Chain A
Amino acid sequence: MKSQTKTVTVRVIILVAMVTVLSIMAVSPVFAYNLWGYEWEDVDPLNYWYNYYDFEDDPDTMGCWYYSAGDWNDTGTEVNYVLISYYPSPDVRCGKAYQSGVPWDGLCSITVQGTTIIYADVTINKYYTDSYSTNKKRSVTCHELGHAVGLGDSSGAVVMNGWTSYRYDTYGIYTPQQDDIDGVNAMY
C-alpha cells in the first residue's frame, strides 16, 4: 500500500513537472532571430557583384562587401555567396550611396514575387560609414547581406540587430552569430 502510494506520488510529480516545462516552452520563444518572410529558391550559389570602378576610390568598403560575403559562407549553412562579373545577371548587387537626408547607414532592397526573392540590392550609406572603422563598416555590410538572404531585424548581440550603434558600438558584432546562423538554417 505504502509502495503504491509512493509510486502514485512519483508519477504525479513527473506529470506536473512535464506539464510545467511544456507550458513554459509554449509561451517562451526558443530563438531570437526573425525571418523576413521571403526566401530564395536556392542560396547555393548566391551570385553577388560590385562594380570595381565604383569602389576604386574606396577599396576599404569594397573589401567589406567581400569579407562579409565570406563571413556568411563560413557559417556552414547552405548560403554560398559567389563573386561574379556582371554577366550573367547577379542575384545580389552591392553598391554605395551618399544620402544625408536619411537615418540609415545601410539598406537592402529585395525584389520578390510572392514570397520568393528574385534579386537583391544592398547599399552602404557613405554619409555615415565614411567615418566608421573597417570592422564597423563590416557590421553594416554583413547585416545587409543577412537581409539579402531573407533574415529580418532582430535584437541583442547578433549581426541582424537593426541598429549599428547597438550591433557594433555596444556588442562589437560584425560577423554572423549563432542566432543568425540558426535563422538561416530555419530557412534553408
Chain B
Amino acid sequence: MTKILNNRFFTLILLTVIVLTIAIVWTTTYYQPKQDRTAQDQTAELGISWAYAYDNVEQLSIKADLIVVGRIAKVIAETSEGIWGAGHLYFTDFSFDVDKVLKGKEVKQITIHQTGAVGKQEVSDDPLFVPGEQYILFLHEYEDGKYFVLGGPQGRFKIVGDEVFTMNRVLPDKVVLPQGLDINGMQKTDFIDSISRQVSN
C-alpha cells in the first residue's frame, strides 16, 4: 500500500483522475452525440408547446370529459390544412374501440384526433398511435364524438400486457413529464381502480 502511494505512482494516479474528470465534464457539458440517423429524404418533425399541464392523474381525471380503456382500431382519415404563412399541418383521425369507460358517457367506439401523419409529420413527444396499441386515455371532446388527448403525452397511458406505463417510460429520450405523472409498470387493474376512486370522489 505504501509503495502504491509513493510519489511517482501517486502522481500518475492523480493525473489519470484529473484527465478523466476533464473528459467527463467535456462530454456531459459540451458534446451531445447526434442521434444515429441515416441519410433520408426530407421529413418533418414537430415540436410542440402544450397549452395545459397536469401535475398528476387526479388533475387529468378532473379535467377529462371521457376516460377510456381500449385499443386503437384503425386510421379513419388523414387530413391536411394550410396554415396562414407557414405551410401545412397534417392530422390523423383514429377509431378507438372502448373496452371500459371510467368517466363520461357510455360509448363503444370514438374518434381520436391527433396532429401529424405517417411519413409526413410527427410530434416528437407525442408519436402517432399505431393500430393494435392499447391505452388508457384522458380525453377532451371538442366536437360531438371527436376527442383529443389531454396534454398530449400526459393523458396517454400505454398498456403493455397487464401493466401501465406513462409515455416518458415508453420514450425516455423524447418525453418529459412531471414527477406526479411517472408510472412505470403499475398493474392495470390497480391503476384503473385508482382512477375509478378519484372519479367517484
Contacts and interface: CB of A to CB of B under 8 A. Distances in A.
B130 interface: no
11 contacts: A15-B17, A93-B85, A93-B86, A95-B83, A96-B84, A97-B81, A110-B47, A113-B42, A114-B37, A114-B39, A123-B86
Contact of B140 (A15, A95, A103): A103
B201 interface: no
B47 A147 contact: yes
Given A26-B24, A31-B29, A163-B53, A103 B42 contact: no
Interface string B43-55: 1111111111100
For the complex, would chain A's binding face be called helix, strand, loop or mixed by DSSP majority? mixed
A25 B28 contact: yes
Interface residues of A, number: 69
B72 interface: no
B95 to A, nearest CB: 16
B97 interface: no
Counting from the closest, the 8 A-B pairs by CB-CB distance are: A95-B86, A147-B47, A95-B85, A106-B49, A163-B53, A121-B86, A105-B51, A37-B35
Contacts of B46: 107-109
A164 B49 contact: yes
B10 A11 contact: yes
Interface size, B (range) = 35 or more
A162 B125 contact: yes
Given A15-B17, A103-B149, A162 B29 contact: no
Interface of A: 4, 8, 11-12, 14-15, 18-19, 21-22, 25-26, 29-31, 34-39, 49-51, 54, 93-97, 99-115, 118, 121-123, 125, 128, 140, 143-144, 147, 152-155, 162-167, 186-187
Contact of A103 (B24, B87, B148): B148
